[in-house]
Amino acid sequence: MNKNLKAFGLLMFFVFLAGAPLLAQEATLSDSKASLYKLSIIVSAAIITLASAAGAFCQAKALSSACEGISRNPAAGPHIRFLLLLGLILIETLVIYALLVTFIILMMKWGNYA
């Protein structure tokens, strides 16, 4: 517990240290543009969080089912393994697509739309 707390404290220190230059910047966006940009950050974070959580859950479920299937019928192991890898690739591709959507949302020029 103490070791985990120490690692978490060190992580938070570096996060605040990396974010310190943001506090020195002046706000140059108008209120409507700033609120739109903040909303885009929140939506982006929600997209990537949900996609990674759903992807991790689906990968765990697929791995669990594949192990159960191979243990019930060892002769079908190569076929189950192939389908497992294909499924894991498709699941990970969906998470990468969500990351791409997140980057697109974050890199939009919000000043042109507000």
Residue 91 lies in a domain: yes
Alpha-carbon gap, residue 69 to 57, rounded angstroms: 18
When the pLDDT of each residue in the chain is averaged and rounded to a whole number, the result is 84
Residue 13 lies in a domain: no
Residue with tokens 């190569």: 78
| Res 59: pLDDT | 92
Q: Which of 25, 60, 47, 40 is nearest to 97 (CA)?
A: 47
Domain that holds residue 67: 30-112
| Res 64: pLDDT | 93
The alpha carbon of residue 77 and the mean position of all alpha carbons in its chain are separated, in whole angstroms, by 31
Alpha-carbon gap, residue 4 to 84, rounded angstroms: 34
- pLDDT over 60 at 72, yes or no: yes
Mean pLDDT confidence for 42-56: 90
- CATH no. for residue 108? 1.20.20.10
- pLDDT over 80 at 23, yes or no: no
SS3 113: coil
Residue 18 lies in a domain: no
Q: Which of 46, 39, 48 is nearest to 110 (CA)?
A: 39
Higher pLDDT, 38 or 33: 38
Residue 31 pLDDT class (50, 70, 90 cuts) = low
Residue 49 lies in a domain: yes
Overall number of domains in the chain = 1
